[in-house]
Chain A
């Protein structure tokens, strides 16, 4: 179970980083199908 905890921490860290990068590159944090082009950068 320790393995699972370590994996859980690591992947959570990665998903936060990914979310930040996605927000930066797409200019918004909207992730559903509609392209949100009007969002301010």
Chain B
């Protein structure tokens, strides 16, 4: 057992990647729609579900260890820092790992209800995406963050196109070209930062950025801005959020639900780089992006909710709500204090689960509405109005932040944390108005779909959704209710978010592992440099 314990931090990355390789070796069912009962597909489902379940257990164990306040560091192959790859699991990383497992398990279960048979290699791609997500959450190095970003993006390009069709291909092309541009900017930002500090290790960066002064600090801040563009693009920050609704609405439901956690990778990266490295105590570069981040975050949530009000399909509405919730989380982040960060983490966990659930629910409802599908027009009644209606009500109430659901708790914590901020009035009015408008948008959608039905049309689907699809959606929404029940322990966990700002502890944990090894990283002086 101690052997497993010693290698625990790397397992969230290793497990999905090995599973993906195994799934590739098993092969594919051939991709035709008649393959539902194919032997290879059945095995792929069992292996993938087992792997994700195991991943959930590992993530839970990591959260348990991280909750004690210890920062777990793992050096791949025991290579010292500048050459080796450091995996660092602290409270934030462990929480994100658990969140991605909690989203992945029901979503994968939902996908085994039929979507995985509509294209090739769904399960292998899903595992590669999980590997990228988990890797981004645990890596302790900015360049490896880039690599894991690419891993998850490449998997997401293929997953986004899963099921094919003209619309997916058209939107997928936007998505991919924009992401390629963002990745190029990421490299430029990383290079600038490396030129100034001589390291890309997040712990080392945390120690060296505060020491940069004078004109060099301006370059470091330029790198921070470039990285904000990149991460803001992933997280759909205001001027860069317009691609998201079209992309997520075009993707099939389980993929869109999984993308809900992919958006949070951007938020996570902003937290790590701008919240901590360029946060308080960063010397000349302290709060480098703070003046613009707060207005942009407020604007993002307003834009998201306006888009949700204007949406003409249910999936687009949910996709716009993703933007709105990211805005709210980024508001919490840009307040730069521990209470707000705790609120933001809590709200982020909840909103990710709710939005993933809403994406699945949107497809369940759409499948029972005949030709109208998910368009918000009066159509034939759904065949399970009570069940789907109650689920919709639950999800809507949590998304809008009605008590006693966790969305409310998260927003309340956020409002409390912003009481002595100079922007308090703006923050309070925006957050409350966004919650109210979210409620209106979802109430409009719900009343059109469940009450404003046309009885002259025949019912859309004679039978209800299969128990598997309902079960997966229910599981996701039940998790959010559980977040409300266990609000106190979760809040205690997120309240320890100030661990993040303790850059010395982060660096010490990293250094303890590479104790007795001389530091070999040096600032780039133009004459010598190690190729990475």
> Which residues in A have some Cβ–Cβ distance to B below 8 Å?
1-4, 7-8, 10-12, 14-15, 18-19, 21-22, 25-26, 31
Contact = CB atoms under 8 A, between A and B. Distances in A.
A14 B166 contact: no
- Indicate the member of A1, A3, A4, A10 with the most B CB atoms within 10 Å: A4
A8 B183 CA distance: 9
Interface in B164-207: 164-166, 169-170, 172-174, 176-177, 180, 183-184, 187
Contact of B531 (A2, A12, A19): A2
A22 B532 contact: no
B173 A18 contact: yes
B169 A11 contact: no
A14 B179 CA distance: 13
A21 B183 CA distance: 23
A24 to B, nearest CB: 9
Interface in B126-158: 143, 146-147, 150, 153-154, 157
Chain A binding surface SS class: helix
A37 B472 CA distance: 38
B177 A15 contact: yes
A10 B154 contact: yes
B189 to A, nearest CB: 12
A20 B112 CA distance: 30
B180 A18 contact: no
Contacts of A18: 157, 161, 169, 172-173, 176
B244 to A, nearest CB: 15
A1 B532 contact: yes
Interface of B: 143, 146-147, 150, 153-154, 157, 161, 164-166, 169-170, 172-174, 176-177, 180, 183-184, 187, 531-532
Contacts of B172: 18, 22
B180 A19 contact: no
Contacts of A31: 170, 173-174
B173 A11 contact: no
Given A1-B532, A7-B150, A7-B183, 5 more contacts: A4-B146, A10-B154, A18-B176, A25-B169, A31-B174
A11 B164 contact: no
A32 to B, nearest CB: 9
A4 B187 contact: yes
A8 B180 CA distance: 8
Contact of A22 (B146, B157, B169, B180): B169
